[in-house]
Structure 1
Amino acid sequence: MHALGRLIQECRDADPTLSYARIAKLSDGAISHTMAHRWANANIHHLDKLPEPKSILGLARALKLPPLQVLLAAADAAGVDTTDPASSDFARKLPPNIDDIPGEVLADVLALLWTLVGSKRTKRPGARKEAK
């Protein structure tokens, strides 16, 4: 299971009332229950592309998590190395008060990141590979 799936499953384990339909409802229409279920599917080992910024923000809202946490899990699931300091120190460069950014500014930042990463799987040489 990829990082975004693990994150969704951890939240569902912590709150048994958090069904995929409820996640969709709490996202205010940003994601469907089918999308939430697909992202949490244990048999899917990576995402083919990074989710849209509004989907990341909606999922963060539904799971009551910081958008950055959801973004990093989604990026990892899409093949962007977010943990190896030799190849990516992106997360460590973010200011500690990143979650204080107003929602509309955060949406613009996410849109820019999504544009930069796009749907390409950007595994770097030497990046860890997830077992199938």
Structure 2
Amino acid sequence: MMAIKNQLFTGFCFLLAAAILSCTNEHEADLLPEEERCGEQPATLSGDIIPIINQNCAISGCHVSGSERINLSEPENIIQYANQIRNFTQSGFMPAPESGKQLTAAELESIYCWVENGALDD
């Protein structure tokens, strides 16, 4: 009987530890103060963001004119939907997995910092 209790206790501890660890999946960059995370060279719309969007989002069948989605081939739309773009890319919702596209950590960071710094039009 004692062996069963020990096994149950050990199993419970293992599950508790796994649950705690799964709740702490924050990226190290998310823990840095904003000025350290984004550095002194902010991302720019034309130099950083548009190339990322053109390569991964504003492609045939996705976010272009004539699709049912937001047209991200227009800089005004990128600025207007900057918060949504940041949220969807940071969460991994976009680019859609079925697109075969995947943003690098540097691209994700550029989008994040550009939006956090005001999503400016250069």
- Compute the TM-score of the two structures, normalised by the length of structure 1: 0.32
| Length-normalised TM-score, structure 2 | 0.34
Q: For the pair shown, which has the larger CA radius of gyration, 1 or 2?
A: 2
Greater helix proportion: 2
